[in-house]
Chain A
Amino acid sequence: MCKEYDVVVIGAVAIGTSVAYHLAKAGYSTAILERGDVASGSSSHCDAVALICDKLPGIDTKMGQASIDYFAEIADEFEYDFEYVPKGCLYVCETQTEFDAASDYCAKQNADGYALRMVGREELCEMEPHIAKDLAGALYTPESGAIAVSPYKLCFAFIHEGRKYGLECYTYCDITKINLDAKTNQVESIETNYGTIKTKRIVNCAGAWAPFVGKLTGLTIPIEPRKGTNLVSEQTERLCNHKILEYGYMLSKFDSINFKRKVSPLVEEQNIAFNLEYTPSNNLLVGGNRLFRDYDIRSEIETLKAISERALRFFPELADIKCIRAYSGVRPFVIDHLPIVSDVDSIPGYYIAAGHEGDGICFSPVTGRFMEQIISGKPTDFDISKLDFARFS
């Protein structure tokens, strides 16, 4: 029997599940295909925060804020609990130089209307009693701009809610071929181990693997895997009250920002940026770094050492807390640090929503909504022409 859908989404993690949910809700008959289990991609190997303060001023921040607002809405509306928690975030500055750089950033974001503010050393120590006492201060983002969710529950939630609108989900699905019309290049069907699925529209949401799906129809999609590692502590008392990042994180994320930190060669070489988060199950997540290692997500001993070393600089009490596990994942990296949320001029019916690097969880809800608007030919909530695939041609 040949199956047929209005739209087929490829990849069932943070981005794909949101896209599929939004399309099903808008009335399209929708299927989502995943080569593993739901939530098996990078979204199960990451942290789970959505912040505006780790974004560059402009569209990056605008999308972040739109998504954070949207998270609050769906957390209320969805039956499936994805552990939405407003958190607040502190970007801690080790030195006065960092504090000054953070103050500039804060001023730019304030000018755009975002409620960030700088806090001095004393206030920082009040907000975070366990933090090192010799830091210069921090950039504070209130709960309205910094939340956390469970990344895999988010995926299960979108599937659960999508099914109410008829969404069909095929896991352990291998795609062998995508057929295009010989004359028009229009998408026609997908061949899989479940048989041939007819559809006029596909959305490539395969994250760091989107280039491989692209190749099936001769598309070059410039996304590369950028590795990150986290350490998980035993269940412990809450060492922190907010999501904590070091301001140097900006430096590890964006190569356009350059100032040198006083760190050991190991921390430098491993491109470590400290971040700390507590989970609803009372574990601490201690991270992190950014490295290019192809698709290899084995944990590296040197990384574990470097992350621990850097973490102790900010939270000395970690020295006596046990680490029970480490994990790594790959972020879908794009050279201009913006995702691709777009149609594809050369292949009618082909859409891409991928390349969200370190923000795939954060941008998940808003990406789903944009993709539905693009496919329906509606205007998007705001101008997202910067996310167009055509920018690479």
Chain B
Amino acid sequence: MSTELSDDMIVCRCEEVTVREIKEAIHEGARDIVGVKRRTRAGMGLCQGRTCEKLVQQILVQELGIHPKEAGTSSARPPVRPVTFGELAKGEVL
């Protein structure tokens, strides 16, 4: 993928993070998906990065000239889909 993304485009819809904010995070020192997440909250919302992770990766690759693998992935954290605390307490969904 080498399409130019406009700076105002929203990358993470859950947390409303734009391309510009992601580029700024990279310039402040973020080198991978987790670093971007900590600085911008991209990937911290309801969908936990399912939608935006690829785009964040693409921006990292473009800005830093790295291989997609080096951009990493966010750590896999349970639960795999949102479940209520009530369901969790019963242990029914695990």
Residues in chain A within 8 A of chain B (CB atoms):
37-40, 44, 152, 156, 169, 171-172, 231, 233-235, 281, 286, 299, 301, 304-305, 308-309, 311-312, 318-327
Closest CB in chain A relative to B61 CB, distance in Å: 17
Q: Which residues of B contact A319 (CB under 8 A)?
A: 84-86, 89
Main secondary structure of the interface of A (DSSP, over half): mixed
Out of A39, A299, A320, name the residue touching B38 (CB < 8 Å): A39
Chain B CB count within 10 A is highest, among A38, A304, A321, for A304
Number of A-B contacts (CB under 8 A): 87
Instruction: Give 30 A-B contacts (CB < 8 Å), ordered by A residue.
Output: A37-B34, A38-B29, A44-B38, A169-B29, A231-B88, A233-B85, A234-B82, A235-B46, A286-B85, A299-B77, A301-B91, A304-B78, A305-B88, A305-B91, A308-B85, A311-B85, A311-B89, A312-B85, A318-B86, A319-B85, A321-B85, A322-B84, A322-B85, A323-B82, A323-B85, A324-B82, A325-B77, A326-B77, A327-B75, A327-B77
Do the beta carbons of B79 and A171 come within 8 Å of each other?
Answer: no
Q: Which residues of B contact A169 (CB under 8 A)?
A: 29
Q: Which residues of B contact A305 (CB under 8 A)?
A: 88-89, 91, 94
Do the beta carbons of B48 and A325 come within 8 Å of each other?
Answer: yes
Q: Which residues of A contact B79 (CB under 8 A)?
A: 304, 323-326
Residues in chain B within 8 A of chain A (CB atoms):
15, 28-32, 34-35, 38-39, 41, 44-46, 48, 75, 77-79, 82-86, 88-89, 91, 94
Q: Which residues of A contact B31 (CB under 8 A)?
A: 37, 171-172
**Known contacts A320-B84, A320-B86, then 4 further A-B pairs from the complex at CB < 8 Å, ordered by chain A residue:** A234-B46, A234-B82, A301-B78, A304-B88
* A309 and B89 contact, Cβ closer than 8 Å, known pairs A38-B29, A39-B38, A234-B82: yes
Out of A40, A156, A312, A326, name the residue touching B89 (CB < 8 Å): A312
Q: Closest chain A residue to B75 by CB distance?
A: A327
Q: Closest chain B residue to A306 by CB distance?
A: B89
Q: Which residues of B contact A156 (CB under 8 A)?
A: 28, 39
Main secondary structure of the interface of B (DSSP, over half): loop
CA distance A172 to B30 in the complex (A): 11
Do the beta carbons of A322 and B82 come within 8 Å of each other?
Answer: yes
CA distance A312 to B87 in the complex (A): 11
The 10 tightest CB contacts between A and B, nearest first, are A319-B86, A308-B89, A308-B88, A322-B82, A318-B85, A309-B89, A308-B85, A305-B91, A37-B35, A324-B82
Closest CB in chain A relative to B43 CB, distance in Å: 10
Q: Which residues of A contact B41 (CB under 8 A)?
A: 281
Q: Which residues of B contact A327 (CB under 8 A)?
A: 75, 77
Do the beta carbons of B83 and A322 come within 8 Å of each other?
Answer: yes
Out of A37, A234, A301, A322, name the residue touching B29 (CB < 8 Å): A37
CA distance A327 to B78 in the complex (A): 8
Closest CB in chain A relative to B35 CB, distance in Å: 5
Out of B28, B75, B86, name the residue touching A312 (CB < 8 Å): B86
CA distance A304 to B86 in the complex (A): 11
Q: Which residues of B contact A312 (CB under 8 A)?
A: 85-86, 89
Q: Which residues of B contact A233 (CB under 8 A)?
A: 85
Q: Which residues of A contact B32 (CB under 8 A)?
A: 37
CA distance A182 to B77 in the complex (A): 48
Q: Closest chain A residue to B47 by CB distance?
A: A324
Q: Which residues of A contact B83 (CB under 8 A)?
A: 322-323
CA distance A304 to B46 in the complex (A): 18
CA distance A40 to B15 in the complex (A): 21
CA distance A270 to B27 in the complex (A): 42
CA distance A311 to B85 in the complex (A): 8
Closest CB in chain A relative to B29 CB, distance in Å: 6
CA distance A312 to B84 in the complex (A): 11
CA distance A327 to B77 in the complex (A): 7
